[in-house]
A and B are shown apart, each in its own frame.
Chain A
Amino acid sequence: MWYIVCITYCMATGTAASEVFENLRLELRRGCLIVAVLAQLRTEQYGYTLRKALADDGLAIDEGTLYPLLRRLESQGLLASQWREEDKRNKRFYRLLPEGEQILGQLLEEWKSINASLERILQEAGGV
């Protein structure tokens, strides 16, 4: 009886821990994805090829996240989009605007400084 209770408890806490990890992972990835999308759009692409390029580089992003993000970045004036026909299909192509390039530069600086701080904190915590 106690064994079953213990197993159930361990399974429940295990699921909760993985859920917590998943939520934190998504939070951590969110900002990085924006930087990656902006950087990737230095060359014009449409949604699906952009998603494939990001996945090939190890940053998979699902369609439900990417397209709303692209819309938001466009409404903020960082990207421009255009519907064009390619291979007999209408595709929406996105590209980085000069304003986006400027913001991307600033974000990359910020990212580098966060990275350096984290490195320092981890080194101090690790006692190296």
Chain B
Amino acid sequence: MSKLFMGKSFLGKSGPSTEELLNRYLQAVRFWLPRTQQQDIIAELSLDLHSQIEDKETELGRPVDEAELEAILRKCGSPILVASRYRRQTQLIGPALFPIYQFVLKVVLLWILVPVFVVIIGPAIILPATPRWEALLQTWSTFWFALFVAAGIITVIFAILERSEDQFKFFEKWELRSLPPAPKLEQATSRTQTVLSWS
């Protein structure tokens, strides 16, 4: 459909190095783009950059040199950054789900996994074993393995949730009355009073 536009009129005059540099830049952007859109996006970006170079050359009355070309490309931005703007989903877990992810991670790893190893699995393996230090070492490595596997599984689940359509429905479903009761703290009361006194 679309051909990569490579102007011969201006860059050709300034030698192969500037053309080569521009192609390198476009190639680097292309690498980070979604495969199906690569050709389209690069053709459009290439046309824009060529037009900028052409305008600059008209202004200067001579072909652009390497430094001038670099200035144009630097203004456009780093290839990864330029390509990333074309991607819709750049977050593994977005800001809405992240607090829940953090909470689940903390509960599972710190409040479940660690106590289970310290109170149940650790003593059950280490105490009857001889020599004990060998069992201790083995349990220690198993503990770390379990920790990373659990964290990995939780991350994958949340990454899938992040990409599911039902995520927003989940956030819409909440009942005021089913929220946990607020603790009656001095500080909490005083803050409320402060807010009320402002209004």
Binding site for B on A (CB under 8 A): 46-48, 51, 62-65, 67-68, 71-72, 83, 89-92
Contacts and interface: CB of A to CB of B under 8 A. Distances in A.
B57 to A, nearest CB: 15
Contact of A67 (B1, B44, B81): B44
Contacts of B41: 67, 71
A47 B85 CA distance: 16
B76 A92 contact: no
B48 A90 contact: no
Contacts of A71: 41, 86
Contact of B44 (A62, A72, A92): A92
Interface string B1-33: 111010100000000000000000000000000
Q: How large is the interface on B (under 10, 10 to 19, 20 to 34, 35 or more residues)?
A: 20 to 34
B5 A89 contact: yes
Given A47-B47, A47-B48, A64 B2 contact: no
B75 interface: yes
B51 interface: yes
Given A83-B1, A90-B2, A90-B3, A64 B47 contact: no
B76 A90 contact: no
A64 B5 contact: no
B45 interface: yes
Nearest to A65: B85
Contact of B51 (A48, A64, A68, A83): A48
Given A62-B75, A62-B76, A67 B3 contact: no
13 contacts: A48-B51, A62-B75, A63-B48, A63-B76, A67-B45, A67-B48, A71-B86, A83-B2, A89-B7, A90-B3, A92-B2, A92-B40, A92-B47
A48 B48 contact: yes
A46 B2 CA distance: 14
Contacts of B52: 48
Query: Most chain-A Cβ atoms within 10 A of its Cβ — which of B3, B41, B47, B88?
Result: B47
B47 A90 contact: yes
A64 B1 contact: no
Contact of B85 (A48, A68, A92): A68
Contacts of A62: 75-77
B49 interface: yes
A19 to B, nearest CB: 17
B74 to A, nearest CB: 11
Given A68-B85, A68-B86, A63 B2 contact: no
B2 to A, nearest CB: 5
